[in-house]
Amino acid sequence: MSETAKLSHTAALILQTVDNGCSYGFDIMDETGLPSGTVYPALRRMESEGLVSSQWEPEKKALAEQRPVRKYYRVTRAGAQVLEQSQKRYPLLGKLIPKSRR
Amino acid sequence: MPEERARPLSVRVSNAFIYVAALLAPSERRAEWKQEWCAEIWHRWQFLRHTGEWNRREKLRLLRNSLGAFVDASYLMARLLAPLLAPLAAPLTAPSEGTRARIRELARSPFSCLYVLAIPLLLIVLLSSGLPATRELLSARSHAPTGGTLLYMWLHPFIGGGDKGVPSDLVPAWASHSHLLEGVAFFNISRKPVSTAVVRDARPLLVFTEAKFFDIVGVKPAAGNIPHEDAIVLDHAAWLSLTHADPAVLGSKLHIGGKGFETDYRVAAVLPSSFRFLSRQPTVYLVQRVPSSAQVLVLARLKPGVEEKQLDRELTQIAQNVCYYFLKSQLRYQNWNSALLIPFRMFGVAALVACLIAAAVFRLRPKHLRAALQPENRAAAAHRAIFFAAKVTLALAVVFIGCLEWSRSESAVLLGSRDPGGGPFLLWLYILGAMGVLFWAVADQRARCRVCLRLLAFPVRIGCPGCLLLDWSGTELFCSEGHGILHVPHLSPSWDEASERWISLDDSWRDLFAHEK
């Protein structure tokens, strides 16, 4: 995504939430109050645009804890830059999803 | 990992949603996609279970959230298909000049005009679930009561007055003295607020009548018995709408309110769904022994072979000899079967009136017809006539069927008028609709090429009304196929000797323009 790219408020909110440490889809839904039908397609789009990256957690760890493997999301460097621009564009973003909550 | 059987129902249903939604996801990402969603659901359930928040609300929330998987999977599939569909969608998003020209040509075509008219007709068919009112109207004769002719009657209106019912004491006199009637009963139509246990202040059709009425129309109740007085009979539509199809409706109370009329009545019977009294609207029958108003409408069944003239003579005689009524106006009769077809006749009259008005407004003259019948013009004129007829028929069908389905009435009786021919609302709706259609049809026809029937295009303004150096000023419209040009003059020059627009005044006008001396 180009540096001048603009995110919608919803996409910026999701990106901010991932940046705050909510790595899983359902956690992001909890934090933002957005439905799954919005959060997941937004994550897919941001992943394809290189703003977030996804990874499966180590299988060994999950097997040891007898639970299924989860996929988590992280903000990339490009995503962080776009987020910074979005925070200027949407000043309330930081207040809506403050880092201290996580 | 806990055993599959230990998973609660909501988790299993959520997983089932994921499995179904996975069918929408691209096959190469399906397994991974499914794994991610199922893992999220499992973790959510475990998290809530351990925090003690696994309750009904959270279960429903989980189900709702898992439905988002359908959107997610569709999004992935749409992204996959987007590059494939892009060339197909391109002409729609940014049409080329050629495509635009084709669209314009299509819009001018006479067939497009007919298709555009067919669309609202199709919409009416779909929205009304198959034209129930029209179908009922067309099959009206098939569900009309059998046996002798059924008539309902009222008095001819006095000049300057409205329609009148007949005096109510005539009905028992006719019932006991007439040799030509098989049965006779009074009825009156009204609209008052009706309340039941489940519905408040509904306004169904309220028919005040007597028990004999049901024998005359030949209907037996589907449930209960016809009461003799002060009880309610519901038709099937009223049973559905006023009691929500309550199976224990018999014996329940129904409140009829209104100015100077507020009483509770017992529901005594429900009529079968096949029976309707001139209306598709929910109807409540209040059975009375004696009519509550001085004037009533009358429903009568004639003996076979009796004619209206004979009946009129006999009923007038009885009125004079038994009740000493010397009726100042004629009794009016309406046959049941023909009453059902009133909307057809009303629409026919409305269309005829609209045709005459349109012909007058657009100055359609016999010389136009004569020119069209010349051998060299005949084929083109036939084309024009067929197109015009098809256009008007389709548009009138839209108006007629739309009005009929929307008004939800089979007879103007229901609109508060005693005379079915004078139902004001439906009639006005028809007249306005039919006039609108005819005005549009003539205006549209004027702007079409007389050869190919395409709408004329490329309007060019020539000159201006104030300076007529070019002999005339106006607008020229071209046929896109090159068949001709239509001149629309704004102001004709007065010096054009051949022009029909200059009318010389004869001597009869002289006095009007004589100067005072």
Contacts of B287 (CB under 8 A, 6+ apart): B209, B210, B211, B213, B226, B227, B228, B229, B230, B231, B232, B233, B268
Give the residues across from B167 on adjacent strands: B295
B215, part of any domain = yes
Q: Is residue B198 domain-shared with residue B279, that is, in the same domain?
A: yes
pLDDT at B477 over 80: yes
A101, part of any domain = no
pLDDT at residue B408 in the model: 54
Contacts of A1 (CB under 8 A, 6+ apart): A49, A50, A51, A78, A82
Residue A3: band (very low, low, confident or very high) from pLDDT cuts 50, 70, 90 = very low
Higher pLDDT, B342 or B126: B126
Mark yes or no for CB contact B39/A48 under 8 Å.
Answer: no
Average pLDDT over residues B179-208: 85
Q: Please name the member of B35, B39, B72 whose beta carbon is closest to the beta carbon of A40.
A: B72
Q: Is residue B241 domain-shared with residue B280, that is, in the same domain?
A: yes
A2, part of any domain = no
Three-state DSSP class for A72?
A: strand
For residue B98, count other CB atoms closer than 10 A to its CB.
9
Mark yes or no for CB contact B75/A38 under 8 Å.
Answer: no
Q: Which residues of B touch A70 (CB under 8 A)?
A: 36, 39-40, 43
Say how far apart CA B28 and CA B24 lie, in whole Å.
12
Q: Is residue B182 domain-shared with residue B319, that is, in the same domain?
A: yes
Give the DSSP H/E element, type plus range, for residue B60: helix B56-93
Q: Which residues of A touch B34 (CB under 8 A)?
A: none
Q: Please name the member of B43, B68, B76 whose beta carbon is closest to the beta carbon of A37.
A: B68
Contacts of B251 (CB under 8 A, 6+ apart): B266, B267
Domain boundary among B420, B439, B454: B454
Give the structural domain span for B32: 4-90
Select from B75, B76, B77, B80 the residue whose CB has the most chain A CBs within 10 Å, as the one to mutate to test that interface: B75
Higher pLDDT, A82 or B510: A82
Contact indicator for B346, B412 with CB cutoff of 8 Å: yes
B95, part of any domain = no
Q: Is residue B396 domain-shared with residue B258, that is, in the same domain?
A: no
Say how far apart CA B276 and CA B205 lie, in whole Å.
12
A38, part of any domain = yes
Mark yes or no for CB contact A68/B44 under 8 Å.
Answer: no
Say how far apart CA B256 and CA B262 lie, in whole Å.
6
Q: Is residue B301 domain-shared with residue B357, that is, in the same domain?
A: no
Say how far apart CA B482 and CA B43 lie, in whole Å.
73
Q: Is residue B136 domain-shared with residue B215, that is, in the same domain?
A: no
Give the structural domain span for A89: 9-93
Higher pLDDT, B396 or B328: B396
pLDDT at residue B161 in the model: 43
Q: Is residue B303 domain-shared with residue B210, that is, in the same domain?
A: yes
B76, part of any domain = yes
- Residue A29: CATH number of its domain: 1.10.10.10
Q: How many domains does chain A have?
A: 1
Degrees, nearest 5: CA angle B15-B21-B22: 90
ipTM of the complex: 0.90
Q: Please name the member of A44, A67, A70 whose beta carbon is closest to the beta carbon of B75.
A: A44
B155, part of any domain = no
pLDDT at A77 over 90: yes
Average pLDDT over residues B299-310: 83
Q: Is residue B491 domain-shared with residue B424, that is, in the same domain?
A: no
Q: Is residue B302 domain-shared with residue B367, that is, in the same domain?
A: no
Q: Please name the member of B35, B38, B68 whose beta carbon is closest to the beta carbon of A36.
A: B68
Q: Is residue B367 domain-shared with residue B442, that is, in the same domain?
A: yes
Contacts of A2 (CB under 8 A, 6+ apart): none
B476, part of any domain = yes
Say how far apart CA B254 and CA B226 lie, in whole Å.
16
Q: Which tokens go with B152?
A: 């309902």
Domain boundary among B454, B488, B507: B454
Whole-number Cα distances in Å, B131 to A16, B209, B390, B404: 55, 31, 21, 9
pLDDT at A56 over 70: yes
DSSP code, position B196: -
Q: Is residue B395 domain-shared with residue B368, that is, in the same domain?
A: yes
Q: Which tokens go with B260?
A: 């100077």
A17, part of any domain = yes
Q: Pick from B480, B484, B461: which is nearest to B103 by CA?
A: B480
- What's the pLDDT tens digit per position in B231-256? 999 998 889 888 888 888 888 888 88
Say how far apart CA B388 and CA B399 lie, in whole Å.
16
Say how far apart CA B106 and CA B90 lie, in whole Å.
19
pLDDT at residue B426 in the model: 66
Three-state DSSP class for B423?
A: coil
3-state helix, strand, coil in chain A (%, to 5): 55, 10, 35
> Residue B422 corresponds to which amino acid?
G
Q: Number of A to B CB contacts under 8 A, please give it.
A: 63
Mark yes or no for CB contact B65/A36 under 8 Å.
Answer: yes
Closest chain B residue to the Cα of A29, Cα to Cα: B65
Contact indicator for B8, A41 with CB cutoff of 8 Å: no
Q: How many domains does chain B have?
A: 4
Q: Which residues of B touch A (CB under 8 A)?
A: 1-2, 35-36, 38-40, 42-44, 46, 64-72, 75-76, 79
The pLDDT > 90 percentage for chain A reads 33
Q: Which tokens go with B138?
A: 């067309």
Closest chain A residue to the Cα of B61, Cα to Cα: A35
Residue B114: band (very low, low, confident or very high) from pLDDT cuts 50, 70, 90 = very high
Mark yes or no for CB contact B36/A41 under 8 Å.
Answer: no
DSSP code, position B448: B
pLDDT at B418 over 50: no
A68, part of any domain = yes
Give the DSSP H/E element, type plus range, for residue B407: helix B375-407
Q: Is residue B252 domain-shared with residue B364, that is, in the same domain?
A: no
Whole-number Cα distances in Å, B16 to B57, B60, B75, B321, B410: 19, 15, 19, 84, 50
Chain B nearest C-alpha distance from A64 (Å): 10
Give the residues across from B332 on adjacent strands: B154
Burial of B142 per CB tally in 10 Å (0-12, 13-18, 19+): exposed
Mark yes or no for CB contact B40/A70 under 8 Å.
Answer: yes
pLDDT at residue B179 in the model: 87
Q: Pick from B402, B398, B406, B407: which is nearest to B437 by CA?
A: B398
A70, part of any domain = yes
How many residues make up chain A in this entry? 102
B182, part of any domain = yes
Q: Which residues of A touch B46 (CB under 8 A)?
A: 67
Residue B341: band (very low, low, confident or very high) from pLDDT cuts 50, 70, 90 = confident
Average pLDDT over residues A67-85: 91
Mark yes or no for CB contact A37/B71 under 8 Å.
Answer: yes
* Sign of the CA dihedral running B283, B285, B291, B296: positive
